[in-house]
């Protein structure tokens, strides 16, 4: 349309240059100019509408961009499973089918686009988790679930943590590979909850290396605290699943703060620090 406007301008200039005598008495030229003006106004209006439509489409595309980013992250997560076992191969075509299935099964009842995108992201995460988990050895399912819950590659998952926290996480994962697969089951919520507990446990232990800045004194946090934390998560999540009720996160936080981990803490300042971490994780 911009090209058409430029061509019309050239035509007008050419006719004006070739006109002879009084322009106002050249009826043919005036008629052509009137037609060109009307055409130019129409083209200009269409051009404005086109720009508005393009902006609207761009805004709509940006709204769905988080879904595309989630899909890309999940795809690279499952591709990295090859580093765990050479048999864990999942093609792009396979992942595309899961993505399309998520689009078809997602909740379409809401008119809010952002809510729909969040629902589609959740559907995709659940589909990928169930599909891939069924193809893995039991000993590898916990590690995959933890990486998937955070939506990032395994090496990113580890490299973003300080060295001490990373070592604590690795010890936790190795222990869970042997003991926790049965409890993990097929729930994405359980995977996310266990991942959060793993980070919390790793940070709580690592702060002991920076006394008195980390904790005001050395506390004997142990693997028993973590096992107790897992037991609490397991029972509360199972209860929520059976009763189809919300998870009692405040109840979990209170038990961790006042009994499990916080039961070893003597300083009110340290308890405040621990409470802030519980809110984060």
Region of residue 93 (phi > 0: left; psi between -120 and 50: alpha; otherwise: beta): alpha
In contact, 195 and 125? CB cutoff 8 Å: no
pLDDT per position as a tens digit, 161-215: 677 887 887 777 767 655 555 555 556 677 778 888 888 998 999 999 988 888 9
pLDDT per position as a tens digit, 34-53: 777 777 777 777 777 777 77
Fold of the domain spanning 138-281: Helicase, Ruva Protein; domain 3 (1.10.8)
Q: Which of 7-16, 89-98, 228-237 bottoms out in mean pLDDT, i.e. has the lowest?
A: 7-16
| CA nearest to 98, candidates 119, 117, 120 | 120
In contact, 113 and 136? CB cutoff 8 Å: no
Round the average pLDDT of the chain to a whole number and report it. Answer: 79
Q: Average pLDDT in the 57-72 region? A: 82
pLDDT band per the 50, 70, 90 thresholds, residue 257: very high
pTM over 0.85: no
| CA nearest to 127, candidates 103, 150, 107 | 103
Report the C-alpha gap between 236 and 246 in whole angstroms. Answer: 10
DSSP assignment letter at 216: S
Domain boundaries, the chain: 138-281
Burial class (CB in 10 A: 0-12, 13-18, 19+), 101: middle
pLDDT of 216 strictly over 60: yes
pLDDT number for residue 215: 93
Better-scored residue on pLDDT, 121 or 156: 121
In contact, 229 and 261? CB cutoff 8 Å: yes
Report the C-alpha gap between 248 and 257 in whole angstroms. Answer: 14
Burial class (CB in 10 A: 0-12, 13-18, 19+), 234: middle
Q: Average pLDDT in the 98-103 region? A: 90
Q: Taking the alpha carbons of 54, 108, 146, 88 in that order, is the dihedral positive or negative?
A: negative
Instruction: Give the whole-number percent of the chain exceeding pLDDT 70.
Output: 76
pLDDT number for residue 196: 86
> What backbone phi and psi angles, to 5 degrees, belong to 106?
-65, 155
Better-scored residue on pLDDT, 57 or 71: 71
pLDDT number for residue 265: 92
pLDDT per position as a tens digit, 133-161: 888 888 777 777 777 766 556 556 555 56
Tokens of 109: 């009842």
Q: Average pLDDT in the 223-237 region? A: 89
The Cβ of residue 151 has, within 10 Å, a number of other Cβ atoms equal to: 16
Report the C-alpha gap between 263 and 257 in whole angstroms. Answer: 7
Better-scored residue on pLDDT, 146 or 260: 260
Q: Which of 50-54, 66-70, 112-116, 257-261 bottoms out in mean pLDDT, i.e. has the lowest?
A: 50-54
| Upstream peptide bond of 212 is cis (omega within 30 degrees of 0) | yes
């Amino acid at each position: 349309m911009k090209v058409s406007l430029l061509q019309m301008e050239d035509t007008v200039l050419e006719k004006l240059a070739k006109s002879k005598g009084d322009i106002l008495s050249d009826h043919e030229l005036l008629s052509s100019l009137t037609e060109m003006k009307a055409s130019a106004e129409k083209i200009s209006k269409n051009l404005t509408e086109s720009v508005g439509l393009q902006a609207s489409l761009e805004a709509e595309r940006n709204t769905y961009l988080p879904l595309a980013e989630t899909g890309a992250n999940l795809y690279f997560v499952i591709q990295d499973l090859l580093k765990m076992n050479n048999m864990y191969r999942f093609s792009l075509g396979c992942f595309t089918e899961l993505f399309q299935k998520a689009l078809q099964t997602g909740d379409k009842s809401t008119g809010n686009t952002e809510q729909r995108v969040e629902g589609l992201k959740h559907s995709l995460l659940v589909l990928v988790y169930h599909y891939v988990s069924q193809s893995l050895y039991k000993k590898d399912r916990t590690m995959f679930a933890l990486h998937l819950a955070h939506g990032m590659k395994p090496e990113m998952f580890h490299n973003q943590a300080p060295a001490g926290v990373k070592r604590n996480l690795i010890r936790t994962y190795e222990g869970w590979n042997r003991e926790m697969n049965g409890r993990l089951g097929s729930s994405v919520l359980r995977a996310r909850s266990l991942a959060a507990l793993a980070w919390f446990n790793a940070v709580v232990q690592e702060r002991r290396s920076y006394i008195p800045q980390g904790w005001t004194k050395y506390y004997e946090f142990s693997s028993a605290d973590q096992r107790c934390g897992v037991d609490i998560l397991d029972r509360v999540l199972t209860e929520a699943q059976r009763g189809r009720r919300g998870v009692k996160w405040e109840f979990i936080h209170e038990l961790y703060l006042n009994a499990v981990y916080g039961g070893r803490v003597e300083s009110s300042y340290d308890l405040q620090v621990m409470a802030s971490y519980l809110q984060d994780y």
